[in-house]
A and B are shown apart, each in its own frame.
Chain A
């Protein structure tokens, strides 16, 4: 069992959630309630990682983050290290390929809040911040929780993009999904089987937790 790889995967998932969740809440809320020009295009762009083959996405990310790109060059000039094949580069990639998994459930969560309830909050005199914090966030919570779990599970399981952008550097970019692949390549089916089982259990636990919480939270809003 490659515990370093598991720890790295969990760290990557935690950081991805920390970076992506606030952005996804902002985007999800805007997409749920506002009408603006180019909304359909924005939604399509945000959903793109769902339909692109991971290798294609990985390739573009490799180009966008590579030393020849402005972002890669900037990172190199500050840290003296390349952005690709680093944990930071992997994190950026992870945030990008998780966008639809985070934004879409959150958008549905905000859409499910009746317009009358938001109006009532304004009529009760609630400030914008309190309205967001006390009413909207609480009511959109099932969607936010789904986003959290989906992002977490998807980060643990992602393979193609990670391999393209991160390679397989132990302790830096070698996630558990890559480790399983390498054990299979090395004919160590026992280790691969054990790690797969651990991943399966973690994912099952996470998904069950969402369903359990949603069932508890998502009672009819009368």
Chain B
């Protein structure tokens, strides 16, 4: 493991349970994703030195900031971090300029003001230097907070849900600005968010958390399409999670065969699960392709599965379709299709349709009853009969 960047290992049983391990390389943005109460902000505060954890170690570019065993615990001042708080935490009685200048006290007085003005200009706030925080909009306050956090040339930049307190339009603009700004930053950046889309859009790597535990880390789309467990899949909002039996592996063709509700499905080769074993499998909605009713469709022969439309809900330009495959008591397949496709194919409740489950989208996971979706009472028996 290289010393460069941020390395964090935290463990404690109380008051907030933590069992977290994460790393963030210089210039990389790591998103900590999880539901509220999963310990994201606690980890961020521990990195900043605002909160002391019972056990663990935090290093940054080879320097030990915190080591519970060795009794090392640097103050936030000494760690030199930039922190953008959820509600920005600007000093309410100081102007935008003075807020940024407070973080530049180690510079000579003459340089301080100029550098603060430069930083505010960099976040598009030139001309608003003399405004008090209450005279700025939410988006402008966030920019002041970012300028203030960057002022110290921090070793690490920490962002605690920085977009949660602004409206949607402002948020989209701030995303763009942050993405632009990031190209100039060379320090590790840790972003805490409960918004998966935000993590997918902004981060290089994502770390999924629940109850203070880091469950999986990796590039956002990898984590989303290949969750390590049913729990991660659930946390990321993957709706199509089912059980199946492993039939066979064909390494030469790169295929693993599974049996699901009487269908023989071809999946990407995943030999970690032995033949004959029971597994959980998931497929992102984007990997389910609707067959056209009037003529053959692309990939029609790839895992075709037929069912009856149980629900059809219009969501703006798209339609959310629930497809009942097999007995009614079993969990349905969920897919989202463009509204015009639904209209052209005359899809409505009760229609019988066929879809292809794309081979590369089928991802196998260990069986995990605890995190499976809630089902009707009759369902488990039916599902068992299918095995």
Contact = CB atoms under 8 A, between A and B. Distances in A.
B329 to A, nearest CB: 49
A137 B92 CA distance: 13
A138 interface: yes
B134 interface: yes
Interface stretch (A52-60, A98-106, A127-135, A144-152): A127-135
A117 B152 CA distance: 17
Contacts of B87: 114, 116
Interface of A is mostly: helix
B134 A122 contact: no
Contacts of A134: 102
Interface residues of B, number: 30
B63 interface: no
A135 B91 contact: yes
A40 interface: no
Contacts, number: 68
A134 B103 CA distance: 12
Contact of A116 (B80, B85, B148): B85
A27 B358 CA distance: 68
Contacts of A119: 45, 48, 50, 76, 83, 85, 89
A123 B81 contact: yes
A122 B89 contact: no
A130 B83 contact: no
B85 A125 contact: no
Nearest to A118: B89
A219 B77 contact: no
B218 to A, nearest CB: 29
A122 B50 CA distance: 8
B103 A221 contact: no
Contact of A125 (B50, B77, B89, B92): B77
A122 B75 contact: yes
B77 A222 contact: no
Contacts of A116: 85-87, 89
A138 B82 CA distance: 23
Given A114-B89, A120-B91, A125 B80 contact: yes
12 contacts: A117-B90, A119-B48, A120-B91, A122-B49, A122-B76, A122-B77, A123-B83, A124-B148, A124-B152, A125-B152, A126-B102, A135-B91
Interface of B: 45, 48-50, 75-77, 80-83, 85-87, 89-93, 102-103, 105-106, 133-134, 141, 148-149, 151-152
Given A119-B89, A121-B102, A134-B102, 15 more contacts: A116-B85, A117-B90, A119-B48, A119-B85, A120-B83, A120-B90, A123-B81, A123-B82, A124-B102, A124-B148, A126-B77, A138-B93, A139-B93, A219-B134, A222-B134
The 3 closest A-B pairs by CB, nearest first: A116-B89, A120-B89, A124-B103
